[in-house]
Protein backbone atom coordinates (compact mmCIF):
# COMPACT_ATOMS: atom_id res chain seq x y z
CA UNK A 1 0.00 0.00 0.00
CA UNK A 2 1.05 3.58 -0.63
CA UNK A 3 1.81 5.48 2.59
CA UNK A 4 1.22 9.23 2.89
CA UNK A 5 3.21 11.28 5.40
CA UNK A 6 2.31 14.86 6.24
CA UNK A 7 4.43 17.42 8.03
CA UNK A 8 4.16 19.11 10.36
CA UNK A 9 1.50 17.38 12.48
CA UNK A 10 0.61 20.69 14.15
CA UNK A 11 1.29 24.21 12.97
CA UNK A 12 0.79 27.39 15.00
CA UNK A 13 0.27 30.51 12.91
CA UNK A 14 -1.28 33.97 12.99
CA UNK A 15 -3.87 35.57 10.76
CA UNK A 16 -2.11 36.87 7.65
CA UNK A 17 0.73 34.32 7.79
CA UNK A 18 1.78 32.27 4.78
CA UNK A 19 1.41 28.60 5.66
CA UNK A 20 2.85 25.55 3.90
CA UNK A 21 2.01 21.90 4.58
CA UNK A 22 3.99 19.06 3.02
CA UNK A 23 2.78 15.62 1.98
CA UNK A 24 5.09 12.81 0.87
CA UNK A 25 4.07 9.57 -0.82
CA UNK A 26 5.97 6.31 -0.32
CA UNK A 27 6.02 5.83 -4.11
CA UNK A 28 5.20 7.93 -7.13
CA UNK A 29 1.53 8.87 -7.47
CA UNK A 30 1.97 11.22 -10.45
CA UNK A 31 -0.47 14.07 -9.70
CA UNK A 32 -3.25 11.93 -8.23
CA UNK A 33 -3.42 13.86 -4.97
CA UNK A 34 -6.15 15.77 -3.19
CA UNK A 35 -6.23 18.11 -0.19
CA UNK A 36 -9.15 18.35 2.24
CA UNK A 37 -10.03 20.71 5.07
CA UNK A 38 -11.90 19.43 8.12
CA UNK A 39 -13.35 21.41 11.00
CA UNK A 40 -14.38 19.83 14.32
CA UNK A 41 -17.60 17.83 14.07
CA UNK A 42 -17.86 18.35 10.31
CA UNK A 43 -17.21 16.26 7.23
CA UNK A 44 -14.05 16.93 5.23
CA UNK A 45 -14.27 19.42 2.39
CA UNK A 46 -12.39 19.03 -0.89
CA UNK A 47 -10.03 21.93 -1.54
CA UNK A 48 -7.67 20.79 -4.29
CA UNK A 49 -7.52 17.82 -6.66
CA UNK A 50 -4.99 16.63 -9.23
CA UNK A 51 -2.35 18.15 -6.95
CA UNK A 52 -2.98 21.75 -8.03
CA UNK A 53 -6.54 22.24 -9.31
CA UNK A 54 -8.73 24.35 -7.04
CA UNK A 55 -12.22 22.95 -6.40
CA UNK A 56 -15.07 25.28 -7.36
CA UNK A 57 -15.78 27.86 -4.67
CA UNK A 58 -12.48 27.45 -2.81
CA UNK A 59 -10.71 30.77 -2.15
CA UNK A 60 -7.68 31.52 -4.31
CA UNK A 61 -5.44 31.91 -1.24
CA UNK A 62 -5.26 28.11 -1.28
CA UNK A 63 -2.86 26.53 -3.76
CA UNK A 64 -1.29 23.15 -4.31
CA UNK A 65 1.85 21.99 -6.07
CA UNK A 66 4.03 18.97 -6.63
CA UNK A 67 4.08 15.67 -8.47
CA UNK A 68 5.57 12.24 -8.03
CA UNK A 69 6.20 11.88 -4.30
CA UNK A 70 6.34 15.41 -2.88
CA UNK A 71 3.42 17.80 -2.61
CA UNK A 72 2.61 21.03 -0.83
CA UNK A 73 -0.51 22.90 0.21
CA UNK A 74 0.00 26.63 0.66
CA UNK A 75 -2.32 29.19 2.22
CA UNK A 76 -1.01 32.55 1.08
CA UNK A 77 -2.59 34.67 3.84
CA UNK A 78 -4.19 32.73 6.68
CA UNK A 79 -7.73 33.79 7.53
CA UNK A 80 -9.72 33.08 10.73
CA UNK A 81 -11.88 30.56 8.85
CA UNK A 82 -8.78 28.55 7.87
CA UNK A 83 -7.98 27.23 11.35
CA UNK A 84 -8.75 23.55 10.82
CA UNK A 85 -7.12 20.18 10.12
CA UNK A 86 -5.86 19.46 6.61
CA UNK A 87 -5.44 16.04 5.01
CA UNK A 88 -3.77 14.93 1.83
CA UNK A 89 -5.04 11.83 0.00
CA UNK A 90 -3.65 9.79 -2.85
CA UNK A 91 -5.94 8.22 -5.42
CA UNK A 92 -3.34 6.64 -7.66
CA UNK A 93 -3.86 3.18 -6.23
CA UNK A 94 -7.12 1.44 -5.36
CA UNK A 95 -6.60 2.06 -1.65
CA UNK A 96 -7.22 5.79 -1.30
CA UNK A 97 -4.76 6.50 1.51
CA UNK A 98 -4.91 9.66 3.60
CA UNK A 99 -2.09 11.42 5.36
CA UNK A 100 -2.31 11.64 9.16
CA UNK A 101 -3.42 15.27 9.08
CA UNK A 102 -1.99 18.68 9.93
CA UNK A 103 -3.78 20.80 12.52
CA UNK A 104 -3.44 24.54 11.92
CA UNK A 105 -3.83 26.34 15.26
CA UNK A 106 -4.01 29.96 16.29
CA UNK A 107 -0.65 31.25 17.54
CA UNK B 1 -28.90 20.79 -3.09
CA UNK B 2 -26.52 17.95 -3.81
CA UNK B 3 -25.94 15.94 -0.66
CA UNK B 4 -25.39 12.53 0.88
CA UNK B 5 -27.15 11.45 4.07
CA UNK B 6 -25.92 8.51 6.17
CA UNK B 7 -27.97 6.53 8.65
CA UNK B 8 -27.85 3.29 10.60
CA UNK B 9 -25.15 4.02 13.14
CA UNK B 10 -25.47 3.16 16.82
CA UNK B 11 -24.15 1.14 19.73
CA UNK B 12 -23.35 -2.53 19.08
CA UNK B 13 -21.59 -5.20 21.09
CA UNK B 14 -18.27 -6.69 19.98
CA UNK B 15 -18.91 -9.45 17.46
CA UNK B 16 -22.19 -7.88 16.40
CA UNK B 17 -23.40 -6.51 13.08
CA UNK B 18 -24.68 -3.23 11.74
CA UNK B 19 -25.79 -1.99 8.33
CA UNK B 20 -25.12 1.59 7.31
CA UNK B 21 -27.02 3.37 4.54
CA UNK B 22 -26.16 6.44 2.49
CA UNK B 23 -28.86 8.16 0.44
CA UNK B 24 -28.13 10.56 -2.39
CA UNK B 25 -30.18 13.74 -2.68
CA UNK B 26 -30.19 16.29 -5.48
CA UNK B 27 -28.37 13.92 -7.82
CA UNK B 28 -28.46 10.28 -8.87
CA UNK B 29 -25.59 8.20 -7.54
CA UNK B 30 -25.89 5.71 -10.41
CA UNK B 31 -23.24 7.58 -12.43
CA UNK B 32 -20.70 7.71 -9.62
CA UNK B 33 -18.31 5.38 -7.91
CA UNK B 34 -18.79 5.66 -4.17
CA UNK B 35 -16.72 5.19 -1.02
CA UNK B 36 -16.92 4.72 2.72
CA UNK B 37 -14.40 6.54 4.94
CA UNK B 38 -14.19 6.38 8.72
CA UNK B 39 -12.68 8.47 11.48
CA UNK B 40 -12.07 7.09 14.95
CA UNK B 41 -12.56 9.58 17.81
CA UNK B 42 -9.72 12.10 17.81
CA UNK B 43 -7.97 10.35 14.92
CA UNK B 44 -7.44 10.89 11.20
CA UNK B 45 -9.35 9.73 8.16
CA UNK B 46 -9.22 6.10 7.02
CA UNK B 47 -10.56 4.98 3.64
CA UNK B 48 -12.68 1.82 4.11
CA UNK B 49 -14.20 0.69 0.82
CA UNK B 50 -14.92 1.57 -2.83
CA UNK B 51 -17.55 0.45 -5.34
CA UNK B 52 -17.94 1.37 -8.99
CA UNK B 53 -21.23 2.64 -10.44
CA UNK B 54 -22.18 -0.81 -11.76
CA UNK B 55 -20.83 -2.68 -8.70
CA UNK B 56 -18.41 -4.49 -11.03
CA UNK B 57 -15.34 -3.48 -9.01
CA UNK B 58 -15.10 -3.42 -5.23
CA UNK B 59 -12.13 -2.76 -2.96
CA UNK B 60 -11.64 -2.88 0.80
CA UNK B 61 -9.03 -1.71 3.26
CA UNK B 62 -7.12 -4.62 4.78
CA UNK B 63 -8.49 -3.68 8.21
CA UNK B 64 -12.06 -4.57 7.19
CA UNK B 65 -11.58 -7.16 4.44
CA UNK B 66 -13.67 -10.27 5.07
CA UNK B 67 -15.87 -8.52 7.66
CA UNK B 68 -17.44 -5.58 5.78
CA UNK B 69 -19.44 -5.67 2.55
CA UNK B 70 -20.16 -2.63 0.39
CA UNK B 71 -23.16 -2.63 -1.93
CA UNK B 72 -25.47 -0.22 -3.70
CA UNK B 73 -29.01 0.00 -5.07
CA UNK B 74 -29.02 2.59 -7.85
CA UNK B 75 -32.81 2.36 -8.16
CA UNK B 76 -33.05 3.50 -4.53
CA UNK B 77 -30.20 6.01 -5.01
CA UNK B 78 -28.48 4.41 -2.05
CA UNK B 79 -25.17 2.98 -0.88
CA UNK B 80 -24.73 0.46 1.94
CA UNK B 81 -22.08 -0.94 4.25
CA UNK B 82 -22.78 -4.24 5.99
CA UNK B 83 -20.46 -4.55 8.97
CA UNK B 84 -20.06 -7.95 10.65
CA UNK B 85 -17.79 -9.27 13.40
CA UNK B 86 -17.41 -5.75 14.75
CA UNK B 87 -14.48 -4.88 17.01
CA UNK B 88 -13.79 -2.05 19.42
CA UNK B 89 -11.35 -0.60 16.88
CA UNK B 90 -14.21 -0.18 14.37
CA UNK B 91 -15.65 2.56 16.59
CA UNK B 92 -15.71 5.66 14.39
CA UNK B 93 -17.77 8.16 12.48
CA UNK B 94 -18.51 6.61 9.09
CA UNK B 95 -18.82 8.88 6.06
CA UNK B 96 -19.95 8.05 2.56
CA UNK B 97 -18.21 10.03 -0.16
CA UNK B 98 -18.66 10.45 -3.89
CA UNK B 99 -16.14 10.07 -6.70
CA UNK B 100 -16.97 12.66 -9.35
CA UNK B 101 -17.73 11.46 -12.88
CA UNK B 102 -14.54 11.49 -14.96
CA UNK B 103 -10.88 10.64 -14.40
CA UNK B 104 -10.50 12.50 -11.12
CA UNK B 105 -11.22 10.38 -8.06
CA UNK B 106 -10.95 12.92 -5.26
CA UNK B 107 -14.04 12.82 -3.04
CA UNK B 108 -16.09 15.87 -3.97
CA UNK B 109 -19.25 15.27 -1.91
CA UNK B 110 -19.35 13.85 1.64
CA UNK B 111 -22.19 12.94 3.93
CA UNK B 112 -22.45 14.32 7.46
CA UNK B 113 -21.38 11.00 8.98
CA UNK B 114 -22.98 8.41 11.26
CA UNK B 115 -21.41 7.27 14.53
CA UNK B 116 -20.74 3.60 15.18
CA UNK B 117 -19.75 2.58 18.72
CA UNK B 118 -18.62 -0.97 19.41
CA UNK B 119 -18.68 -1.63 23.12
CA UNK B 120 -20.04 -4.08 25.67
Contact list, A92 vs chain B (CB under 8 Å): none
What average pLDDT does chain B have? 96
pLDDT digits (tens, 9 = 90+) for B75-96: 999 999 999 999 999 999 999 9
Per-residue pLDDT, B103: 80
CA distance A105 to B11: 33
Contact A104, A11 (CB under 8 A): yes
Contact B51, B79 (CB under 8 A): yes
Interface of B with A in 100-119 (CB under 8 A): 104-108, 110-113
Q: Mark yes or no for CB contact A32/B44 under 8 Å.
A: no
Contact list, A42 vs chain B (CB under 8 Å): 112
Query: For B47, which of A38, A50, A97 is closest by C-beta distance?
Result: A97
pLDDT over 90 at A93, yes or no: no
Amino acid sequence: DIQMTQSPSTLSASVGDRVTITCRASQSISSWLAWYQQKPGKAPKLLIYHASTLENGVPSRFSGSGSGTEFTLTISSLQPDDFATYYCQQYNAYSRTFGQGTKVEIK
Amino acid sequence: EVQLVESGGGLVQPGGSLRLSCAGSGFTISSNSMNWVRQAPGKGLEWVSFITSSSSTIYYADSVKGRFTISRDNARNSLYLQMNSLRAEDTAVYYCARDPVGPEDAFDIWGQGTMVTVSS
